[in-house]
A and B are shown apart, each in its own frame.
Chain A
């Protein structure tokens, strides 16, 4: 059974599958539970003869549900078919798979033409076909047939009656037993029939998990005496559980891989022949732990976060700080023109539209220069934003004062278009960010959609090398569209509609002048890029500098 051997949540399978004559139910249970410890109860509960028409097996992932089910079925030598629902794309696909796998298990694969030509559009059709197949078996082999539907609650495009319909299959066809494997906890009466037996696979407790890991020996290392290893390893495993696995609700395979990763580093002082501190001749667990605290802090955390490209070997990672090596690849550079467009898109997304005239208009009516004026407003916005953040904090602490009222008074005090613009923008921010306060200068406003024309206008305002002849300007708008298409392809700038609902328009490439766009990357990177072409983002942004 190669599928069993390859199933991923099988990492804690120990022995080989026992072969031999069919055992009695009790013997089966005891032999299986030596292979998969801590699952005695569940093994005993699984299909007995005579088995029920429908059985629900549930438990979160990595609790050994499918593995034990398969093992029990294989050991009992009951004819069965297993369908993995996650591999079926549609409901119809699932039904066809069920039919096809059943035929295969019954050895009737050649006679597929008689059973609906392999087609099955609906559950009712499936019931008829399955009944025919099961009836077509030879007379001496008319026992129970078990149909296992793995991860059936994850089925894509499933009609909402699917589960209860499948549950009825067992009632309609007497010789069929349907086992539904769920990874979520079922609602009461979710199959709309009473008295359905459930078998629950709870997550492993601390004791069980440690027992499972310890039932296999510590990884063998050269230069480490077996005696020391067997003495220290149990303590090590329970420390790993308490520090890394327990708090993060990690699964057994995670647990095992972390243990395997950390163990050689943990005992490295012994292997390398370092002398233990404090004049002792022998390393014991507590000394190793004190020496290796850092492992649990740094390496342990990185072991929990999966990266596509695994980090370098620990030695080289220690020597060169990772930040240094990662930096150049973290900041891809864009061509000049695209950078400028991305910067304008960022500014358009992060500046309230009402402030456009203040920040981007080149015609200033006051005696101050445009730049001074901008700086002035920026400072005021900054002060305002801090005041509002504090006030919101206060309002959160004190539930008696309603939040809205405070905001309104603030607006009344400043009484300028500026503050009202800010008040509306901060209202949207707090709606999205949950009023957690203002984190940094560039996150005062979340990215908001903007029309394309605004992007073009801002582009002209911030262009560090404005064209000498205005005739060339016309061509710029047209070139912007081409570059914007590339930026869109890179998902740096996205149409606002797809920003909210990504699924709707991944293949759609049309764009209208009236459509709104939105920037899709963080400000720090854009700030760096813009600096490279001589644009200071903070200078244009509300509350950006200072």
Chain B
């Protein structure tokens, strides 16, 4: 067979291009971003770690040498931007700033997650401590933990429970997943091994097996566990099934009945993680299995609340330097509401956003507050001058009349570099104020909105697009604030006091206090705007009834109180209009706001099926065509699999193989006049067919022996 001729016919001049196809597909699948957009295809070079491909991998990790290499790699993690002209220091600065910024945020996220779990943790812990088979009528004590869609929270909870139990030497937690439990023997083996390695490590497990008097026991013998429990003096051995629904009910029954019979010797407590509901779970188990269990039900907070809290902390904290824009925010929350997503996955997405900002935006170096000497000045200045926000800023300056400043900024690099950090700081402060205002609105809404509570995320999206100050939410909020009675207003003021740092706010609070102290008996006071304070008068004029509204007579305190409310509302309105700016109008918002929807969306929603379908149906989207002529849809120059796939797309649900072969042959016949070899084409056909089978798009039909059944449709 003429290999070269064949390759030519297929338009694959060398195997390099074949590599490229694969890689382009990978790029689509994993959403890898290209940094040089003109390239059509890329060559994937695996990171070599100083070894050539032919060598065998190390069996043991070499600790000393890898540490050195890691440092080296660290420095080169980011590539120079500004067309490659960025100097090494700025690159390093960007990287370091990213690390610093993210580690701070990560700590905050961790704290929130721990705080969220704390309640359930104490409940579960006290349940584990207080219950024993005696308190459960001889059944196995069982804690049912429903986690809802917040799937990851359970592992956090279990890890902390384990830590607590080990530190007090009461026992430990063994986590079992459905994958660990294919059959009873393996499950028991896994349980025993996990229990012992949990406290003693892997070495301890081996030692435990060998260093015991008497014969070596089988790995699944619960006598081992009994021995261990006696040696350690374990009081509680918690066995946690992370995804209880996924366990085979028969196996679960076997396992639990075994535990039940050992319960007098090994102090088991079972913890079942349930994602749907207790009723559904119970309904799936056989009655005999349910009869073995008794216990309590715990609920973990929904993921949504947790994510909201994380977002609020990340954005509104006073030491935040980089913010997520409205596109990113809405993408993030769309994901949370539409898909199963854990808080960890949420924080990973935020991390990716931060990373992208520092990786691809040369202006991010400004966030490091660098020394002006470090920077590659002229390029950076050029970049700043090309910003849309710079243009707007200059226009504003010109309107204000400070033309000299504009000229300096445009011409003098030194001046621009000096001035930029100042503006950056000021604008960061304005962003912080904006988010404080969002919090103010959020707090006020908690007092004024009765039914539907607006979330911080919704408010933030509005604020980030500059719409919040004019929105109906705020208008309604102000209107309702006016009608609050003095008790609620007092609470509200206390909560606002931490956020609005304005002497006027303190004064209002002070005045309210004194007012309330002077007349403790008439609480709660109502303002003149309250519905109780207006009176409807009915008069009959010319045989018609006329309704007229009038102010009821207010007591002296009420008048004074109305004054205070007026002052507060004025303060609120002033505060909100002042701080709720449109971030897009701020100079240098490109540096302090990350608002690109795309890398985030693409990276976290890979499209393998789409990529494969596209590669097969239009292979020249990925491959470089060898001829410049735009060809017909199906041509012999395409890879055989692609040709066959396109023919397959034209067919119905059942395809006769002979017809398919005829069509396939026809493609080659028309293009290669006379010179085509039946046998070569036949082998191509078979190769392509088996590849399609491997993709799972065709299978043998049971109805007709010489037909193939279609099992995948394009574009679903």
Contact = CB atoms under 8 A, between A and B. Distances in A.
A457 B243 contact: no
Given A475-B607, A503-B251, A329 B277 contact: yes
Interface string A302-333: 00001111100000000000000010011111
Contacts of B280: 330, 521, 525
B574 interface: no
Contacts of B606: 478
A490 interface: yes
Interface in A132-186: 156
Interface stretch (A335-343, A411-419, A430-438): A335-343
Contacts of A332: 146, 148, 275-277
B57 interface: no
A329 B293 contact: no
B34 interface: no
A92 B217 CA distance: 11
B287 A306 contact: yes
Contacts of A6: 264
Interface stretch (A221-229, A264-272, A506-514): A506-514
Given A257-B137, A491-B284, A514-B696, A109 B214 contact: yes
A93 B215 CA distance: 13
Given A308-B282, A335-B338, A453 B277 contact: no
A543 to B, nearest CB: 25
B178 interface: yes
Interface string A468-492: 0000011101110111001001111
A336 B220 CA distance: 43
A211 interface: no
B144 A308 contact: yes
Nearest to B263: A6
B339 A338 contact: yes
A335 B282 contact: no
Interface stretch (B69-77, B232-240, B707-715): B707-715
B282 A507 contact: no
Interface string B226-269: 00000000000000000101111111001001100110100000
B245 A513 contact: no
A100 interface: yes
Contacts of B340: 334-335, 338, 483, 486
Contact of A474 (B149, B218, B610): B610
A243 B218 CA distance: 49
A490 B264 contact: no
A87 interface: yes
A479 B215 contact: no
Contact of B607 (A330, A451, A474, A489): A474
B291 interface: yes
A333 B151 CA distance: 13
B696 A513 contact: yes
Interface in B322-374: 336-341
Q: Which of B214, B215, B221, B275 is most buried by chain A, counting CB atoms within 10 A of its CB?
A: B215
A118 interface: yes
B632 interface: no
A2 B149 CA distance: 45
B204 interface: no
A112 interface: yes
B610 A475 contact: yes
A90 interface: yes
Contacts of B220: 89, 93
Interface string A442-480: 000000000101001100100000000000011101110
Interface stretch (B181-189, B465-473, B674-682): B181-189
Nearest to B340: A486
Contacts of A499: none
A87 B262 contact: yes
A408 to B, nearest CB: 24
A373 interface: no
A483 B339 contact: yes
Contacts of B248: 502-503, 506
B459 interface: no
B291 A514 contact: no
Given A478-B607, A491-B246, A309 B295 contact: yes
B142 interface: yes
B282 A491 contact: no
A153 B675 CA distance: 76
Contacts of A486: 151, 340
A490 B337 contact: no
Contacts of A257: 137
Contacts of B297: 309, 329
Contacts of A100: 214-215
A309 B340 CA distance: 27
Contacts of B336: 335
B418 to A, nearest CB: 47
Interface residues of A, number: 65
A118 B247 CA distance: 34
Nearest to B281: A308
A512 B275 CA distance: 25
B278 interface: yes
B610 A86 contact: no
Given A308-B282, A474-B609, A507-B179, A336 B185 contact: no
Contacts of B276: 332, 490-492, 521
Contacts of A492: 276
Contacts of A506: 178, 181-182, 246-248, 251
Nearest to B138: A8
Given A506-B178, A507-B179, A308 B293 contact: yes
Contacts of A307: 282, 290
Interface string A333-360: 1111110000000000000000000000
B404 interface: no
B338 to A, nearest CB: 4
B279 interface: yes
A93 B607 contact: no
B279 A457 contact: no
B299 interface: yes
A310 B297 CA distance: 10
A473 B716 CA distance: 7
Contact of B294 (A84, A308, A326): A308
A333 B148 contact: yes
Q: Which of A89, A489, A514 is most buried by chain B, counting CB atoms within 10 A of its CB?
A: A89
Contacts of A474: 607, 609-610, 613, 715
Contacts of A293: none
B215 A309 contact: no
B222 interface: yes
Contact of A93 (B221, B295, B699, B712): B221
A62 to B, nearest CB: 12
A3 interface: yes
B535 interface: no
Interface in A399-434: none
Interface of B: 137-138, 142, 144, 146, 148-149, 151, 178-179, 181-182, 184-185, 188, 214-218, 220-222, 243, 245-251, 254, 257-258, 261-262, 264, 275-280, 282, 284, 287, 290-291, 293-297, 299, 336-341, 605-610, 613, 696-697, 699, 711-713, 715-716
Given A89-B218, A308-B294, 18 more contacts: A8-B138, A89-B258, A306-B290, A308-B290, A309-B295, A310-B294, A329-B146, A329-B279, A329-B297, A453-B711, A474-B613, A479-B339, A490-B245, A490-B246, A502-B249, A506-B182, A507-B178, A507-B179
7 contacts: A308-B282, A338-B339, A338-B340, A477-B716, A491-B246, A506-B251, A514-B696
Interface of A: 2-3, 6, 8, 84, 86-87, 89-90, 92-93, 96, 100, 109, 112, 117-119, 156, 257, 306-310, 326, 329-338, 451, 453, 456-457, 460, 473-475, 477-479, 481-483, 486, 489-492, 502-503, 506-507, 509, 512-514, 521, 525
CB-based closest 8 A-B pairs? A118-B215, A474-B610, A513-B696, A456-B716, A6-B264, A491-B245, A506-B248, A337-B338
